[in-house]
Amino acid sequence: MASRRVRSAGLVRLALYGIGLVPAAVSFVQGATDRLGADPVNVFERTLGLWALRFLILSLCIAPLRDLAGINLLRYRRALGLLAFWYALFHLTAYVALDLGFDLRTLLADVTRRPFIILGMAAFTILAALAATSNGWAIRRLGRRWQALHRWVYAAAICAAIHFVLSFKVIRVETLLYGLVVAALLAFRVWRTAARRGRRRPASAAGRDGGREFPRDDAGEA
Amino acid sequence: AADLAARPGALSNAGLKPTPLRDVTHYNNFYEFGLEKTDPADRSADFQPRPWTIRVDGMVAKPRTYDIDALLARPLEERIYRMRCVEAWSMVIPWIGFALRDLLAEVEPLGSAKYVAFESVVRPSQMPGQGGVLPVLDWPYVEALRLDEALHPLTILAVGLYGQTLPNQNGAPVRLVVPWKYGFKGIKSVVRIRLTDRMPRTSWNVRAPDEYGFYANVNPAVDHPRWSQASERPIGTGGFFGASRQPTLPFNGYGAQVAGLYAGMDLRRDF
């Protein structure tokens, strides 16, 4: 019974990766065959960046879904987070390779001078660190520090949302909505932390509370 | 769009290969119709560019109101120009129009006039982008040039492109084209031209003064705060692998003709 559940969770995860990468694949084929409109590189870049933000947001929805709605999808959170990382990597690669044509001087100038680019790079760097430590070995190795490290996902979400808002010449309803969703998800964390502190008993520790999340997240991964 | 005859202009960049018509008419920034590049083509079908008049007044001896048909009846030239958007993409567009200086000569600017202010039409019922949830820009869209810029022979009022009258999405029925400046200076669907002695407000400069200057001369050495202006993506050169960035030229390649207008100015400050 248990092993069948584990296997089906594995299949769902596999499907998640497969379906999750469809937008990138479709957009790439369209761009390579000149079906992405007049400015294909720009459309491709934006598509990849937007999906990175979407998967990042989805990964942040898992905890409130469990706590508020009682739906436990923790075992899919890592896949969503990794999809966010892969899209961020594709987005950065499209920018450096297709948009800048490997013009490293412009890249360096962008990365050092422009808050818009710096925010995007910060989000990517965080996601890369989280992706690199998302395997079982790193989790065991880092112990309690793993939790602290992976809380940086909130900083990545903030950077990514502002980066998205700044990517247009004017404030758009769409970008504001994404910003609001990120803000709501972070507000939930603040509320949850405060609520937990409020009812913490002498013997119970935040460590146990937090530590509880992770084995479930990892359930069936090994 | 109707056929429009024009003779090749002497100032036309006849050697440049124009961007395909499809891209020129389906990749537009015209926020009166929406924020997406495809919105102007998709959402401008109800726009009525006739009847149309342009009022030319302010510090002039002979203020006049021009009917669009009278403007179309003037001797028209084809001017193939580079167009560089502030967003770091570029096109080559075969405009049809006439020198703004010819029109200004007819109204006789007063000696006190120093600037020329332009105003676009406001028609929320035909221009869906002028409604909307968030205020994008203050309508009407306004732009301006210094008088000597307006009198430069490269500066034209365009009434057509690619041998036809202007499509709605490109600023029908009449728009400004100043090829050495970023595209947003090329105000579309112009209803009023006013000469004045004070530097007029311009829409993007009001919206974000640190990002968009009054002059907005194409300048690879002065970056936009969020991206480099050193190079540009030419539009309509195929998919990912057809397009490659090209260096942006000072004054968009028109420096030999216009750099003198800015002698002694610090173009980093007056960007």
Average pLDDT over every residue of B172-201? 98
Local structure of residue B217 (DSSP, 8 states): B
Confidence grade of residue B40 (pLDDT, cut at 50, 70, 90): very high
| pLDDT(B250) > 80 | yes
Q: Cβ B240–A117 below 8 Å, yes or no?
A: no
Average pLDDT over every residue of A59-66? 96
Rounded to 5°, angle at Cα A70 from A68 and A75: 110
Give the contacts of B238 (CB within 8 A, at least 6 positions apart): A34
| pLDDT(A3) > 80 | no
Average pLDDT over every residue of A116-123? 96
Position B271 scores a pLDDT of 95
Q: Where are the domains of chain A?
A: 2-199+206-218
Please check whether the domain covering B7-262 is classified as CATH 3.40.50.1100.
Answer: no
| pLDDT(B243) > 90 | no
Tens digits of per-residue pLDDT, B68-119?
999 999 999 999 999 999 999 999 999 999 999 999 999 999 999 999 999 9
Tens digits of per-residue pLDDT, A174-202?
999 999 999 999 999 999 999 888 877 55
B26 within 8 A of B131, measured Cβ to Cβ: no
Position A208 scores a pLDDT of 44
Q: B87: which chain A residues are within 8 Å (Cβ-Cβ)? A: 169
3-state secondary structure of B200: coil
Position A103 scores a pLDDT of 87
| pLDDT(B162) > 80 | yes
| pLDDT(A134) > 70 | yes
| pLDDT(A28) > 60 | yes
| pLDDT(A147) > 50 | yes
Position B58 scores a pLDDT of 98
| pLDDT(A203) > 90 | no
For A5, the enclosing helix (H) or strand (E) is helix A2-20
Position B239 scores a pLDDT of 79
Determine what percent of chain B is predicted with pLDDT higher than 70.
Answer: 100
Position A4 scores a pLDDT of 76
From residue A70, how far is each of A65, A66, A74, A215 by CA, in Å?
6, 4, 11, 18
Pairing of β B156-161 and β B175-177: antiparallel
A–B CB contacts, 8 A cutoff, strictly below: 79
Confidence grade of residue A133 (pLDDT, cut at 50, 70, 90): very high
| pLDDT(B9) > 80 | yes
| pLDDT(B188) > 50 | yes
Q: Cβ B235–A39 below 8 Å, yes or no?
A: yes
Position A201 scores a pLDDT of 59
| pLDDT(A95) > 90 | yes
- List the single best residue of A39, A117, A177 to mutate versus B (max B Cβ within 10 A): A39
Average pLDDT over every residue of A33-52? 94
Q: Cβ A37–B243 below 8 Å, yes or no?
A: no
The full DSSP string for B113-180 is --EEEEEE---TTT-GGGSSSS--SPSSPEEEEEHHHHTSTT-EEEEEETTEEPPGGGTSS-EEE-TT
Position A202 scores a pLDDT of 54
The phi and psi torsions of B190 (rounded to 5 degrees) equal -75, 130
Average pLDDT over every residue of B37-42? 96
ipTM score here?
0.86
Position A209 scores a pLDDT of 44
Pick the residue from chain B with its C-alpha nearest to A115: B226
Of A165-169, A204-208, A217-221, give the lowest mean pLDDT range: A217-221
| pLDDT(A80) > 70 | yes
Pairing of β B77-84 and β B89-99: antiparallel
From residue A158, how far is each of A110, A155, A178, A194, B32 by CA, in Å?
20, 5, 11, 20, 31
| Cα(B200)–Cα(B115) distance, integer angstroms | 7
What are B's interface residues with A at a Cβ cutoff of 8 A? 22-23, 26-27, 31, 35, 37-38, 87, 89, 133-134, 136-137, 207-208, 211, 223, 225-228, 230-231, 233, 235-236, 238-245
From residue B65, how far is each of B71, B96, B164, B194 by CA, in Å?
11, 21, 24, 11
Q: Where are the domains of chain B?
A: 7-262
| pLDDT(A65) > 50 | yes
Supply the mean pLDDT for chain A: 88
How many separate helices (H) and strands (E) can be counted in chain A? 11, 0
| pLDDT(A216) > 80 | no
Give the nearest partner residue to A32 out of B27, B223, B240, using CB atoms: B240
Closest CA relative to residue B169, chosen from B38, B72, B80: B38
Closest CA relative to residue A34, chosen from B245, B242, B18: B242
Other CB atoms within 10 A of residue A171 CB = 14
Q: Comparing A209 with B179, which gets the higher pLDDT?
A: B179
